[in-house]
Structure 1
Amino acid sequence: MGLALEVGILADLKTADEEGFAHFKVQFDLLNQLLAQNQLPPHVEPEEMPVFSGAMFGYSGLHYLRRVAAHLIVNGAVPEPCVDRRPTDDPVMMACYDEIATMQDARSPEWKRFDHLLCHSDAEGYYVPLEFDEVLFDFEDLGLYGVQAGSSVKLLQECLTLAKALEMPTDLDGEDEVFFDAAESQGEGEGWRRYGMECYSCIHLIQAARHSIEHGAAIVFT
């Protein structure tokens, strides 16, 4: 089990799962309420499109990439690869989240430059193909799955920045065995391959975001 990404969830469920399709139709109505509350245009989720599905590396894989983002914000440099399988225990990452929690909107633009990666749920929620600066929160308890909604446009920009910092190729398929092999041998090898877990997460998010923008569909974390 682990975090999965899907782009085109209504198209996937329309003929395969009537109950699931109805559930997510309601969810997209709630998402549009949240968008309207933030003076953003509605999202129209397509019901016919090629579906993208991808599995992240468990639930922890995302945190390896978030750790790199935190170090770039706090220290301005990519850290050594995390090899103890406990990226959330990194003091720099904890300091970054403390700053997010205490300062929130008072943070500088530099401190917000990876917000769509860092300030979103690590297990559920949405990214929509609209461009907006702040991650949206369901403060009024509408019942939105995951509570948060980010921008797949901003997520793509953030992940491409991280890919450049890691010197990771972005023209390979995330299902290429090179990414899985690198993740399995975290900290070993040379160049970007030392950051196997980070790069595995990064390439899958990049592909999901590109598919989201191309087809006008939300990324759904499940």
Structure 2
Amino acid sequence: MGLNIVVGYLAEQLEYDEEGASWHREVLGDLNLVLTEAGEPPHHEPEEIPGGSQSWESYGYSGLHHVRRLAAWLAINRRLPHPCSYEKATDDAVLARFYRLHDAHLRGGRENGVLNFLKRRNPPFSHLILHSDAEGFYLPRAVPDVIFDRHSPQRDGIGGMVGSAKELLTECRELAHALSIPSGIDPEGEEIYKNVEAPPTDGEPWQRLSIETFVITRLIAACEKSLETGAAIVFS
């Protein structure tokens, strides 16, 4: 079991799982309640996807935390992190501080020694950071601010936060540039898998930080597919 990144989830369920499609329609209804409450127009999920739905396996649930750690190091330390294990990624002090800075920004407060990036309208990488790591949506449109489910209790399947595929694409492309990931590289390419299985100790940053590259290339592909088709990205 692990995290799947899906574009065209409803279309997929309508083709293979009628009961699953019925449940997902209910979740989409709740999604639109969240959007309405935030003053946003509803999302209309297509039932058919040109070329079919598409999904990508992430690196379990841990890969997303490696990417968030990368974003934290770039934002706070202005440099790339060293490769590390999953446990060290989730327990990374820089990532923990990055979460605190985002939280302080949302609460309108300040942490001592807060960085200049909090003077921006939004902290960097907010759509990457402010999202469930196990479920939820990225919408195929521009949404500058992450949308929060303010209902109590929060609605099932939403993940508490709704992001933008357009904003996430911009953030992931910034990370890809920092890693020198070759433009147009195939996320399913042999070298991507080879580097994850046996990470090289030298070479380009994208080769050494292989888990980060594995996940970022998939997120970019999903964002592009979402914006092309009008279907939301679904974490499942």
* Pick aligned residue for 1:143 from 145, 151, 155: 155
Q: Give the share of equivalent positions with the same residue, in percent.
A: 39
Q: Secondary structure at the match of 2:193?
A: helix
Matches within 5 A, 1:57-136: 57-83=59-85, 85-104=87-106, 106=108, 107-109=118-120, 112-136=123-147
The answer to whether the Cα contact below 8 Å between 1:67 and 1:90 also exists between their aligned partners in 2 is yes
User: Helix, strand or coil: the match of 1:14?
Assistant: helix
Counterparts of residues 5-84 of structure 1 (less than 5 Å): 5-49=5-49, 50-83=52-85
The residue matched to 1:149 in structure 2 has which SS? Answer: strand
Name the structure 1 match of 2:207: 193
Paired residues of 1:83 and 1:186 also in contact (CA < 8 A): no
Determine if contact 2:139/2:164 at 8 Å carries over to the other structure: yes
Q: Does 1:184 align with 2:197?
A: yes
Secondary structure of 1:15's partner? helix
Structure 1 stretches of 4+ with a deviation exceeding 6 A read: none
Q: Distance in 1 between matches of 2:142 and 2:227?
A: 10
Counterpart Cα distance in 2 of 1:84 and 1:118: 17
Q: Which runs of 5 or more residues in structure 1 are unaligned?
A: none
Residue correspondences, number: 222
The question of whether the paired residues in 2 share the 8 Å contact of 1:6 and 1:219 is answered with yes
- Tell me: CA distance 1:218–1:51, structure 2 relative to 1, closer, same or farther (3 Å): same
Distance 1:179 1:92, change over 3 A: same
- Unaligned stretches of 5+ residues in structure 2: 109-117
- Once the two structures are TM-superposed, the CA of residue 184 in structure 1 deviates from its matched residue by 1.9
C-alpha RMSD of the superposition: 1.7
Return 80-89 or 167-176, whichever deviates more.
80-89
Measured in 2, the distance between the counterparts of 1:85 and 1:163 equals 23
Question: Shift of residue 47 of structure 1?
Answer: 0.4
Alpha-carbon shift at residue 83 of structure 1 (Å):
4.6
TM-score by length of 2: 0.88
Report if the CA contact (8 A) 1:138-1:147 is conserved: yes
Deviation at residue 170 of structure 1 after TM alignment: 3.5
* Cα contact 2:122–2:145 (8 A) shared by 1: no
